Amino acid sequence: MNPSPKHHEIMDRMLEYLFATRFFALEFSGNSNELQLLTKPKEIRIATDAAFADNPDSRKSSQGCLITLFNGPIWWNATKQTTVTTSSTEAELLAFTHTAKETLSLLRLFKQIDLELDNDPVIECDNTQTIRLITADVPRIKTALKHVDIHNAWARQTFQEGHFEVECEGTIM
């Protein structure tokens, strides 16, 4: 695809925006508020969620995650899943795997910059069946969808290796 004048216009607008916002930043405050009272200064908090088949046209699910550190967001994502899942557990499992991979990437970065956290990473998920699948000693998923089975095997193995813990939390999305 060759760039058209429309593409140049969009690039100009994007560069103008970046220039105008070059001094904007996320601010991590020391002020006390309810959220800050619930967490330690260097506590990483990780939440993941999926909305099963919420797209009425494609029936693809949405997924999202939020990772906070120093009581502020450091990484977040909300996307439509690339595949149609056949249950809320499958949708949550795909979202969980995506979040776990991002978490491991951040933990590698923290290790490189010698940032020691106050807690081990705990990924919060609101689907108890997904949590059971990930924390099970043996595989229990019954699906003909190979990619979903692979996501489950990876998440379960990574959990068993001690890279993160899993907790059940209320609905996030």
CATH code, domain carrying 112:
3.30.420.10
Q: Is residue 80 part of a domain?
A: yes
Element (H, E) at 98: helix 88-112
Q: Is residue 112 part of a domain?
A: yes
pLDDT at 141 (0 to 100): 67
Q: Is residue 140 part of a domain?
A: yes
Q: Is residue 30 part of a domain?
A: no
CA atoms of 35 and 37, how far apart (whole Å): 5
Q: Is residue 105 part of a domain?
A: yes
CA atoms of 146 and 157, how far apart (whole Å): 16
* pLDDT band of 173, cuts 50, 70, 90: very low
pLDDT at 29 (0 to 100): 62
Is the pLDDT at 82 greater than 90, yes or no? yes
Number of structural domains found in the chain: 1
CA atoms of 13 and 172, how far apart (whole Å): 34
Mean pLDDT over 29-51 rounds to: 72
Q: What's the domain range around 152?
A: 40-168
pLDDT at 31 (0 to 100): 57
pLDDT at 147 (0 to 100): 78
Q: Is residue 10 part of a domain?
A: no
Is the pLDDT at 140 greater than 90, yes or no? no
Characterise 29 by phi-psi region: left (phi > 0), alpha (psi -120 to 50), beta (else): beta
Q: Is residue 1 part of a domain?
A: no
Q: At what angle do helices 146-160 and 88-112 cross, to 10 degrees?
A: 40
User: Percent of the chain at pLDDT above 70?
Assistant: 84
